[in-house]
Amino acid sequence: MAARSGQKRQPAALTRREKVESRETAILSAAQKIFAARGYGKTTTAEIAAAADVAEGTLYLYYKNKEALGRAVLADFYRRVTENARRGVEKCPATREKLEFLARHHLKNVIRERRIIELVYILEREMDSYEGGQLYQMNRAYVAVFDNVLREGVARGEIDATMTPWITRDIFYGSLEYAMRSMLIRDRQKSLEQVVSELVDLVMRKTSPTEDNHPSFANRTGDAADRVLDAARRLERLLAAQETKGEYK
């Protein structure tokens, strides 16, 4: 505590710079909390100001307007979630585990902070060349984690590279976000694991025991294996019919 110039500073007394920074984070986290609870549309700037313990006018010293505040909240969400995704993926040895981790992680986060995610749709796109927009870049950085896993998996031979990478990515994240909506209506926990595993299967092209459409499997004759296979096929048809009947009116 010696060398830092002649300035005495008690723990409670903050320097000017520190005060400004703490105010900024206070506003941001107040906004994040209220947006997450009430949603962007129903949140008033007055509420945010009160929660951050500043005057309404002060908000506008730190953020240009409510929309900019929303953008900042969303950007912060991307930052957190990207960081966590990176860290989690590092720990997984195999591609399948990485993908499963990413899927689970994404689903959990979009469910927990779905009102923050909605900002993606609510906020107007930044007008100047969308590609250069901040949120576009942050989203890029986030999905890049998946892209890397995919690329690595293909290089290692753990994934078949039949699909265009960006389409694979769209399928991955698109399915998850759409599935979230379904899951919020149905039971949550059980479906989560189901969605994750089926989606990862799909992306990895582990087509599991369904290859009978393939020409090379057309009628093999004779042995016990075949008869079991045939039984399986018939069971599957029956099941499919039953399952679909029950689920959709």
Partner DNA sequence: AGAATTAATGAGTAGCACTCATTAACGAAA
Partner DNA sequence: TTTCGTTAATGAGTGCTACTCATTAATTCT
Give every CB contact of residue 232 below 8 A, 6+ residues apart in sequence.
209
DSSP string, 79-129: HHHHHHHHHHHHH--SHHHHHHHHHHHHHHHHHHTHHHHTHHHHSPPPSS-
Of the candidates 136, 73, 82, 137, the residue with the CA atom closest to the CA atom of residue 106: 82
Binding flag, residue 46, DNA (CB under 7 A): yes
* Only segment of 40-48, 102-110, 136-144, 178-186 that touches DNA (CB under 7 A): 40-48
Return the one option of a copy of itself, DNA, none that residue 193 interacts with (CB less than 5 to 8 A, by type): none
Dig out the tokens for 57 from the structure.
């006018």
CB of 2 to a copy of itself, least distance (A): 46
Please provide the size of the chain in residues: 249
Return the one option of a copy of itself, DNA, none that residue 111 interacts with (CB less than 5 to 8 A, by type): none
CB of 14 to DNA, least distance (A): 7
Binding flag, residue 15, DNA (CB under 7 A): yes
Binding flag, residue 249, DNA (CB under 7 A): no
Binding flag, residue 194, DNA (CB under 7 A): no
Neighbours of 239 (CB within 10 A): 10
Dig out the tokens for 211 from the structure.
């290859």
Considering only residues 55 through 74, tell me which ones interact with DNA, judged by CB under 7 A: 55-58, 60-61, 65-67
Binding flag, residue 25, DNA (CB under 7 A): no
Chain positions contacting DNA, by CB under 7 A: 15-16, 19-20, 23, 43-46, 54-58, 60-61, 65-67
